[in-house]
Amino acid sequence: MSALIRLTEVGKRYAGAAALQPTNLSIERGKTTVLIGPSGCGKSTLLRLIIRLIQPDSGSIQFDGEAITAENIDTLRRRIGYVIQEGGLFPHLTARANVVLMARHVGKSHEEVHTRLLEMCELARFSNNLLPRYPAELSGGQRQRVSLMRALMLSPELLLLDEPLGALDPLVRASLQKDLKEIFARLQQTVLFVTHDLAEAIYFGDEIVLMNEGRIVQKGSVTELREKPADPFVSEFINAQRGLASL
């Protein structure tokens, strides 16, 4: 099976400093790929380059064999779901309006939108009764569920998650992790998941991509990372997190 996303020598600099050094990466279909690394390592930059919130200085990004350009990005964005840490829900719209916004924009029929909305509620375990509420009237976990529903509404081929659970308390976080994993499996969803938490990476990741200082240090399963570290940073990162977890 071919890669859904392929980055070829993609680089990005901010004010002279490299946020992402020229990088190659393939995201396989149907798998969850986790980008992990310390703050500022370039993992969010990589995600934002794919959805073209920022433009690469060099290299090219292909989506399903097609190079992503300024011209086709608006169409491609409808095939990509994007969830950020704070949810990114629009405060002036109800949960329902947030979820159906894009479906309505592309001109889907009322019935179609409604059926899909109920499917999404069921999938994300979000109560119908909460749909008329505004984001400010929902809990953090509920907001992330709505954000996920919004991202999945148009059945995107790719789901981008930028630390989606980072702002939640541990109990809510655990239950959402479990639900998310089930959803990905059920939909056979291609997911690119950014986190700085190793346990979360191991839990979700079919493939783990460890980044540091704007470049990919190692890519592989957690076992490979643990047993065949590409350089000392890999062991250091894994041991530091494991040490904390064993407390």
* Residue 56 per-residue DSSP state: -
Task: Decide: residue 104, CB within 10 A, 0-12 exposed, 13-18 middle, 19+ buried.
Answer: middle
Residue 53 CB, nearest approach to other proteins (Å): 5
Using CB under 8 A, count the residues that bind other proteins.
27
Residue 136 CB, nearest approach to other proteins (Å): 4
Nearer to other proteins, 10 or 84 (CB): 84
How long is the chain?
Answer: 247
Q: Which of 3, 38, 57, 93 binds other proteins (CB under 8 A)?
A: 93
- Smallest CA-to-CA distance from 164 within 209, 204, 195 is with 195
Rg, Å, the chain Cα set: 18
Nearer to other proteins, 120 or 216 (CB): 120
Residue 8 CB, nearest approach to other proteins (Å): 22
Residue 88 makes contact with other proteins by CB under 8 A: yes
What Å distances lie between residue 190 and 58, 59, 166, 179, 181, CA to CA? Answer: 25, 23, 21, 16, 12
Residue type, 9: E
Residue type, 175: S
Nearer to other proteins, 101 or 245 (CB): 101
Widest CA span in the chain = 56
Q: Which of residues 103-142 bind other proteins (CB under 8 A)?
A: 105, 134-137
**For the window 160-199, what string marks contact with other proteins as x by the rule CB under 8 A?**
----------------------------------------
Q: Which of residues 14-73 bind other proteins (CB under 8 A)?
A: 48, 51, 53
Residues with Cβ < 8 Å from 144, sequence gap 6 or more? 83, 87, 164, 165, 168, 176
Query: Residues interacting with other proteins, by CB under 8 A?
Result: 48, 51, 53, 74-78, 80, 82, 84, 86, 88-94, 101-102, 105, 134-137, 150
